[in-house]
Chain A
Amino acid sequence: MPVYSKKVMDHFTNPRNVGAIENPDGYGKVGNPVCGDLMEMYIKVENNVLTDIKFKTFGCGSAIATSSMVTEIAIGKTIDEALAISRNDVANELDGLPPQKMHCSNLAADALHAAIEDYKKKKKK
């Protein structure tokens, strides 16, 4: 059992922005239930700014906490600012993750980026 920081446990216990958005401007999904982690991100964008993000996550404590944290960091940021959020940024904001969790359960930034890519693709059409 990994030892989690207080912040991780806070976001696990009271995750922010859980759920789905109907007709989202972007949708991203990363991970795989076979590996034990699957994340879905929904985003709303107005004037190039992320106005709302919702997520659903299947996975361990750090998978849920990183999902919650990335939504908190990214809401209110511009698309470019959000794309610059890295996995390490999310882990740092949570006061760190156990080393074995840094790779497998730290997919939240990827999920957010996937949702933004989806938004960009839709916009081009």
Chain B
Amino acid sequence: MEVIYLDHASSMPVDPRVIEFAKPFLSEAGNPSSLYEFGQKAKQAVEEARKKIADLINAETEKTIIFTGGATESNNLGIRGTAFRNINDGKEVLASAIEHISVINPMKDLVKNGWNFSQIPVDRYGVVDLNSLKKMITEKTVVTSVMYANNEIGTVEPIKEISEIVHKNGKYLHVDATAAAGRIPIDVQNDGVDLLTLSSNDMYGPYGAGALYIKPGVKIQSVMPGGGQERGLRSGTENIFAIAGMGEAARIAKQEMKNESERLKKIRDSLISKITKIDEAYLTGHPTQRLPHHASFRFSFIEGESILLNMDMYGIQIATGSACSSKTLEASHVLLAIGLKHEEAHGSMVITLGRSNNIEHVQKIVKSVEETVKRLRQLSPLSK
């Protein structure tokens, strides 16, 4: 049975070109801090990757890029590192209500140390409510975090407008671009971003690398003291293979973005138009301001983990925001934030497309969704 993988938001296959490029750094010894030849080669590889990452997001210079172990670490450094460094300017932090848990939890952790943390509401499409933001920002708001695009509902946030509001009163805007980077153009200078989180694997790069863009002049401190690598902001010997691979993945993503996003948009739009024709099936997230590879839905009367298991029987791998498939058994905070009731949030299905998908997949996907929904509704006491 042909397997159709539609869960690129949770994990992506590493691009074979990336593996080929970075392979030498997997097997040979070489610490970028060492002066002998391979140490210097490793150092060069890291610097080359830094340039490629800076280029992807139009950063001022490659010096603005700090490599980390992944998006969670970048979010922690971006939020905690600025909150503690700028403690004299105020102890208030803000995040949108639909941020990833790796943004929300560091902020909740700051509360234990005396910070105030509030969540900015979003509308029914998941767009940050700008009027609320205006009211919530004060001169004591040191960090405001809003994601570039949401991983669960695909909505792209108006970062430039958010930046203008944040910088009128508050200090820094941190943007988690994990779901968006490599998929849509990002220009940190034009968007007015102070800190931006990137993840290697979310761009077809190897696991175990991430990056944090830090705008020149932003005051930040390390959250993990050690040997002082990465300008003293991220200690620990660099993961050369993953970093070199992440750089190459960023280069390829930039080069292929335009054509690839056009290609995926066609698949996405075909899926959305066909799946929303199913009775009591609804798109979640914004209908137009959404990621080109992202199609997310909810179905009344059925539950998401069952949808996932049933789709898997057809060889189709999807994701769900259902409580029953999560570790905590809590309903998705994203789906609740856009105003869904608990029983509605249970019936969600998330499709995130990637390079392995093509337009010929649409027919099989749609047929499998139709059959899954039909079968589970036959089992459900809630169906009419």
In the complex, besides A33-B382, A57-B380, 10 extra interface pairs with C-beta distance below 8 angstroms are: A12-B306, A12-B309, A36-B303, A38-B382, A58-B382, A61-B306, A63-B303, A63-B306, A100-B329, A105-B324
B325 pairs with A13, CB closer than 8 A:
no
Of B301, B309, B342, B380, which one neighbours A61 at CB under 8 angstroms? B309
Of A40, A63, A100, which one neighbours B327 at CB under 8 angstroms? A100
Q: Does A59 contact B (CB under 8 A)?
A: yes
Q: Does A15 contact B (CB under 8 A)?
A: yes
Residues of B within 8 Å of A59, CB to CB, are 303, 306, 324
Residues of B within 8 Å of A57, CB to CB, are 379-381
A100 to nearest B CB, angstroms? 6
Q: Does A87 contact B (CB under 8 A)?
A: no
A47 to nearest B CB, angstroms? 29
**Cα-based distance from A15 to B380 in the complex (angstroms):** 12
Identity of the chain A residue whose Cβ is nearest the Cβ of B377 in the assembled complex: A58
Ordered nearest first, which 7 A-B pairs have the shortest CB separation?
A60-B324, A60-B305, A56-B381, A33-B343, A40-B381, A58-B380, A34-B342
Q: Does B308 contact A (CB under 8 A)?
A: yes
**Cα-based distance from A2 to B329 in the complex (angstroms):** 11
Instruction: List B305-336 residues whose CB lies under 8 Å from chain A.
Output: 305-306, 308-309, 313, 322-325, 327, 329, 331
Chain A 59-76, CB-CB to B under 8 Å as 1, else 0, gives 111011000000000000
Give residues in B with beta carbon < 8 Å to A: 301-303, 305-306, 308-309, 313, 322-325, 327, 329, 331, 341-343, 346, 378-382
Give residues in A with beta carbon < 8 Å to B: 1-2, 4, 9, 12-13, 15, 18, 29, 33-40, 56-61, 63-64, 100, 104-105
Identity of the chain B residue whose Cβ is nearest the Cβ of A100 in the assembled complex: B329
B380 to nearest A CB, angstroms? 4
B379 pairs with A15, CB closer than 8 A:
yes
With A34-B343, A58-B301, A100-B327 known as contacts, the answer to whether A18 contacts B379 (CB < 8 A) is yes
**Cα-based distance from A3 to B302 in the complex (angstroms):** 20
Residues of A within 8 Å of B302, CB to CB, are 58
Residues of B within 8 Å of A61, CB to CB, are 305-306, 309
Most buried by B among A33, A38, A57: A33
Identity of the chain B residue whose Cβ is nearest the Cβ of A68 in the assembled complex: B379
**Cα-based distance from A47 to B133 in the complex (angstroms):** 68
With A60-B305, A61-B306 known as contacts, the answer to whether A36 contacts B323 (CB < 8 A) is yes
**Cα-based distance from A35 to B324 in the complex (angstroms):** 9
Of B323, B342, B380, which one neighbours A56 at CB under 8 angstroms? B380
**Cα-based distance from A39 to B303 in the complex (angstroms):** 13
B313 pairs with A13, CB closer than 8 A:
yes
**Cα-based distance from A87 to B34 in the complex (angstroms):** 61
B325 pairs with A1, CB closer than 8 A:
yes
Identity of the chain B residue whose Cβ is nearest the Cβ of A18 in the assembled complex: B379
A30 to nearest B CB, angstroms? 11
A62 to nearest B CB, angstroms? 8
Most buried by B among A37, A58, A63: A58
B350 to nearest A CB, angstroms? 13
Residues of A within 8 Å of B303, CB to CB, are 36-37, 58-60, 63
Residues of A within 8 Å of B306, CB to CB, are 12, 59-61, 63-64
Residues of B within 8 Å of A36, CB to CB, are 303, 322-324, 331, 342-343, 346
Of A15, A29, A33, A39, which one neighbours B346 at CB under 8 angstroms? A33
CB<8 Å pairs between A and B, sample of 30:
A4-B309, A12-B306, A12-B309, A15-B379, A18-B378, A18-B379, A29-B381, A33-B343, A33-B346, A34-B343, A35-B342, A36-B303, A36-B324, A36-B331, A38-B382, A39-B381, A56-B380, A56-B381, A57-B380, A57-B381, A58-B303, A58-B380, A60-B305, A61-B309, A63-B306, A64-B306, A64-B379, A104-B324, A104-B329, A105-B324
